[in-house]
């Protein structure tokens, strides 16, 4: 009589368990796919889940094999091994320490699987929150009542030299379609940012992945397209999908000669609008065109798109000649004219007259820009150049209506940062706006400039390093980041990585010095500059003065490259913290206060009125001088508002000190005490005999008592 071997008797149960596990694994992978579409999980979650499930298969089969062995049952009854569903963590840990595989039970295997998947999804969730924020699942409102939010995805290309149109079509179509019949096109920067997060570099994604990237932007619809060159004839095709159920709602296709690309895109845009929101009578009379990008010149268009690729990396030197060629080829190319003015404004050493002429030229093409671009051009460039605060209200309205528009957030914060009058923003409003621009347009290097500076001002070294690493990953110009790394090392010398950074200050930029002058760590900077041999005189002078270390100024070395900080007008604010009456006693600075500093009463009030009306003078001392004169004119409320605005800027210590005095005079002791303490913290290493230090300490004692 044949008796089955112990091995063959276990094969049946093990096979059944394996089949059940594979079915459960399929369910898990489907859940991963669904979650990836809903909340844009990172691309590594799917492969990670697959690896864990394969490892789990090994342990599940092994556990089934062990548990099907009759000897296991006898050992369990004898108490030699844990029972089927027992975990017994101490025994398992003891086996691991001895280098042995713990006895396989269903309890241990199930717990291990749950822990592995929990760690995977926990890491994925953390990644989503860090990189995309809490509101990723919410749809950004793009203005109006329209529920149609269209994401134009990068096109695939075939034949000819069409690579520039892969991402270029995203911008062309987004600009053209936005606002047509109430349709809202998701900003191209947002689309490309989400595309980079979800689509693996160098690979053509499948349809599900493409639609998942579209859904991550908050869009309700997506356009998946292709452009093909067949013997000089271009064929543009697109498939429209309604997101959520990923249902195809229509196909569009146009074709024609390669030298009529923009006309083809115009027609494709009309077809897209008709498919998405239905055919509309009189659509041809609405002026549909490539709004900001209208140009009959393919050469001009290609030069613009090539320049845009450099502009995104902050390489303005390479972008400028390409934009010059684009504008020369078509003098009415609106967006090229706009971008050229922006590029000149961000390029060092540009002649002021050249920049003014470029900005003035934008006025002539405002009506040729898309509605969004026209607002940004008028508010953020024309009004900014004229220091007209109307631009601030326009930009605030703009970001409320188009919260997905990175350029709007950047221009608003940039305007508020540089607008030295009563409409300047708070520190949080200004710096948070710069950060919002970076998150919406992470591939656009120029947005990082003020965001890095803001992190330095806030003393957030981790944020600075994160932003610099992201800039490096973009391939942005490394020379731009060098001064920030130097500033980082100066502000955080205690950090383990600071010693390895270049703190040689020969090429230290004045712009970065301005950021250091807004830091809330003036004593750290003063200590650092004292340790640096051969530091430029102006740099040393600036940092020591802001820290209240007048007695150390005699050791300044010969003048260095940061000469604009020797401008006497720039240091008017520090007269209020002078060591004695009448002069500073510092070489290169004026011996006496200017006459207007001592104005009072009606004379001071007249000066205040004139300064508020005339916003063309943008010197750094103006806000503090205006606040000083407002106080001397008897307008304490205005003075306090201005001192508050300046408290986080260049003359922060002086503004905080003066604000504390005013609050005390206004009978607000608790607020005054807080400001006096803030001032003493900023000047914790200042010369002890300085009058402001003595007065602040005395005031704190009185107010605390």
Q: Same domain, yes or no, for 155 and 289?
A: yes
Domain termination site, one of 499, 519, 539: 519
pLDDT at 625 (0 to 100): 78
Residue 479: pLDDT band with limits 50, 70, 90: low
The residue-averaged pLDDT of 680-701 equals 89
Q: Which of 550-564, 601-615, 674-688 has the lowest mean pLDDT?
A: 550-564
The residue-averaged pLDDT of 27-52 equals 68
Q: Same domain, yes or no, for 505 and 404?
A: no
Instruction: State the pTM of this model.
Output: 0.58
> Which two structure tokens, joined as six digits, stand for 61?
């089969």
Q: Is residue 537 part of a domain?
A: no
- Residue 458 to residues 53, 452, 463, 614, 685: CA-CA distances in angstroms? 45, 10, 10, 31, 20
Place of tokens 């003078």: 617
Place of tokens 């065109």: 289
Q: What is the mean pLDDT of the chain?
A: 76
User: Is 165 within 8 Å of 225 (Cβ atoms)?
Assistant: no
Examine the pLDDT at 572 and tell me if it is beyond 50: no
Q: Same domain, yes or no, for 456 and 419?
A: no
Percentage of residues of the chain with pLDDT beyond 70:
72
User: What pLDDT digit, counting tens, does each position of 92-104 carry?
Assistant: 667 667 667 776 7
Total length of the chain: 705
DSSP tally for the chain: helices H, then strands E: 30, 6
Place of tokens 């760590």: 521
Q: Is residue 140 part of a domain?
A: no
Q: Same domain, yes or no, for 76 and 197?
A: no
Examine the pLDDT at 429 and tell me if it is beyond 60: yes
Q: Same domain, yes or no, for 699 and 580?
A: yes
- Please count the structural domains in the chain: 6
Q: Is residue 233 part of a domain?
A: yes
Q: Is residue 557 part of a domain?
A: no
Q: Same domain, yes or no, for 37 and 117?
A: yes
* Category of 60 on φ-ψ map: left (φ > 0), alpha (ψ -120 to 50) or beta: alpha
User: Is 292 within 8 Å of 407 (Cβ atoms)?
Assistant: no
Q: Same domain, yes or no, for 395 and 494?
A: no
For residues 606 and 46, which has the higher predicted lDDT (pLDDT)? 606
pLDDT at 306 (0 to 100): 83
Query: CATH no. for residue 390?
Result: 1.25.40
Query: CATH no. for residue 686?
Result: 1.25.40.10
pLDDT at 274 (0 to 100): 66
Q: Is residue 92 part of a domain?
A: yes
Query: CATH no. for residue 254?
Result: 3.40.50.10070
DSSP 8-state assignment for residue 293: G
Q: Is residue 559 part of a domain?
A: no
User: Is 233 within 8 Å of 258 (Cβ atoms)?
Assistant: yes
Q: Give the domain extent around 383.
A: 370-441
Q: Same domain, yes or no, for 113 and 89?
A: yes
Name residues whose C-beta falls within 8 Å of residue 121's C-beta, 6 or more positions apart in sequence: 45
Distance CA 125, CA 148 (A): 28
Q: Is residue 4 part of a domain?
A: no
Q: Is residue 582 part of a domain?
A: yes
Distance CA 183, CA 267 (A): 16
Q: Which of 116-130, 196-210, 310-324 has the lowest mean pLDDT?
A: 116-130
Domain termination site, one of 313, 339, 368: 368
Helix (H) or strand (E) holding 238: strand 233-242
Q: Which of 74-78, 270-274, 455-459, 594-598 has the lowest mean pLDDT?
A: 74-78
User: What pLDDT digit, counting tens, does each position of 153-188 carry?
Assistant: 999 988 878 888 888 899 888 887 876 656 788 988
For residues 559 and 56, which has the higher predicted lDDT (pLDDT)? 56
Residue 287: pLDDT band with limits 50, 70, 90: very low
Residue 381: pLDDT band with limits 50, 70, 90: confident
Distance CA 191, CA 250 (A): 21
Q: State whether residue 493 is helix, strand or coil.
A: coil
Domain termination site, one of 441, 456, 488: 441
> 334-370: buried (b, 16+ CB within 10 Å) or exposed (e) per residue?
bbbbbbbbbbbbeeeeeeeeeeeebbeebeebeebbb
Q: Same domain, yes or no, for 447 and 425?
A: no
Place of tokens 């986080």: 648
Q: Same domain, yes or no, for 115 and 238?
A: no
Q: Which of 36-50, 136-150, 387-401 has the lowest mean pLDDT?
A: 136-150
Examine the pLDDT at 556 and tell me if it is beyond 70: no
User: Which of 519, 491, 460, 522 shows the shortest CA–CA distance to 680?
Assistant: 522
Q: Same domain, yes or no, for 426 and 486?
A: no
Q: Same domain, yes or no, for 55 and 152?
A: no
């Amino acid at each position: 009589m044949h008796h089955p071997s112990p091995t063959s008797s276990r094969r049946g149960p093990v096979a059944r368990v394996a089949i059940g596990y594979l079915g459960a694994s399929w369910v898990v992978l489907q859940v991963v796919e669904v979650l990836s579409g809903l909340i844009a999980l990172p691309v590594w979650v799917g492969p990670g889940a697959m690896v864990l499930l394969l490892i789990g298969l090994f342990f599940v089969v092994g556990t089934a094999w062990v548990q099907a062995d009759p000897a296991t049952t006898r050992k369990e009854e004898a108490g030699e091994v844990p029972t089927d569903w027992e975990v017994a963590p101490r025994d398992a840990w003891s086996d691991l320490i001895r280098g042995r595989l713990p006895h396989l039970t269903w309890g241990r295997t199930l717990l291990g699987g749950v822990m592995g998947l929990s760690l995977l999804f926990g890491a994925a969730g953390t990644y989503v929150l860090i990189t995309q924020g809490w509101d990723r699942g919410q749809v950004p409102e793009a203005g109006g009542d329209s529920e149609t939010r269209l994401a134009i995805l990068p096109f695939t290309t075939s034949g000819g030299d069409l690579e520039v149109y892969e991402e270029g079509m995203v911008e062309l179509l987004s600009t053209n379609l936005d606002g047509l019949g109430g349709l809202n096109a998701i900003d191209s920067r947002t689309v490309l940012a989400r595309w980079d997060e979800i689509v693996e570099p160098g690979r053509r994604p499948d349809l599900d992945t493409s639609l998942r990237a579209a859904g991550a932007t908050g869009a309700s619809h997506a356009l998946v397209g292709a452009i093909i060159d067949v013997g000089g004839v271009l064929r543009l095709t697109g498939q429209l999908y309604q997101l959520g159920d990923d249902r195809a709602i229509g196909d569009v296709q146009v074709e024609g000669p390669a030298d009529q690309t923009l006309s083809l895109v115009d027609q494709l845009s009309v077809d897209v609008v008709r498919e998405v929101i239905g055919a509309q009578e009189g659509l041809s009379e609405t002026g549909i065109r490539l709004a900001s990008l209208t140009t009959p010149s393919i050469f001009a268009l290609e030069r613009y798109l090539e320049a845009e690729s450099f502009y995104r990396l902050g390489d303005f030197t390479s972008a400028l000649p390409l934009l010059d060629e684009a504008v020369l080829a078509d003098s009415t190319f609106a967006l090229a004219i706009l971008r050229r003015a922006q590029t000149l404004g961000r390029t060092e050493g540009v002649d002021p007259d050249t920049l003014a002429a470029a900005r003035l030229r934008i006025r002539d093409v405002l009506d040729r820009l898309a509605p969004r671009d026209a607002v940004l051009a008028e508010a953020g460039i024309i009004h900014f150049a004229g220091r007209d605060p109307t631009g601030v209200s326009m930009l605030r309205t703009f970001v409320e209506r188009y919260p997905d528009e990175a350029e709007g957030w950047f221009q608003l914060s940039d305007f508020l940062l540089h607008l030295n009058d009563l409409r300047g923003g708070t520190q949080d409003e200004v710096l948070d706006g710069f950060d919002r621009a970076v998150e919406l347009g992470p591939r656009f290097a120029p947005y990082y400039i003020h965001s890095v500076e803001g992190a330095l001002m806030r003393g957030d070294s981790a944020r600075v390093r994160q932003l610099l690493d992201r800039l490096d990953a973009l391939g942005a110009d490394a020379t731009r980041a060098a001064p920030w790394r130097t500033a980082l090392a100066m502000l955080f010398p205690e950090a383990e990585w600071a010693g390895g950074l270049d703190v040689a200050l020969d090429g230290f930029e004045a712009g970065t010095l301005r950021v250091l002058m807004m830091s809330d760590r003036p004593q750290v900077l003063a200590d650092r500059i004292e340790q640096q041999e051969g530091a430029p005189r102006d740099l040393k002078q600036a940092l020591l003065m802001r820290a209240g270390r007048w007695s150390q100024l005699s050791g300044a070395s010969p003048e260095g490259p940061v000469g604009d900080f020797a401008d006497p007008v720039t240091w008017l604010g520090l007269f209020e913290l002078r060591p004695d009456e009448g002069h500073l006693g510092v070489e290169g600075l004026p011996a006496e206060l200017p006459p207007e500093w001592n104005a009072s009463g009606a004379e001071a009030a007249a000066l205040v009125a004139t300064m508020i009306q005339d916003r063309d003078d943008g010197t750094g001392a103006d806000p503090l001088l205006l606040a000083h004169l407002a106080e001397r004119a008897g307008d304490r409320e205005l003075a306090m508002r201005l001192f508050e605005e300046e408290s986080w800027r260049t003359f922060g210590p002086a503004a905080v000190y003066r604000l504390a005095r005013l609050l005390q005079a206004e009978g607000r002791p608790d607020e005054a005490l807080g400001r006096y303490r803030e001032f003493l913290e900023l000047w914790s290493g200042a010369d002890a005999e300085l009058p402001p230090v003595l007065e602040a300490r005395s005031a704190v004692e009185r107010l605390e008592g």
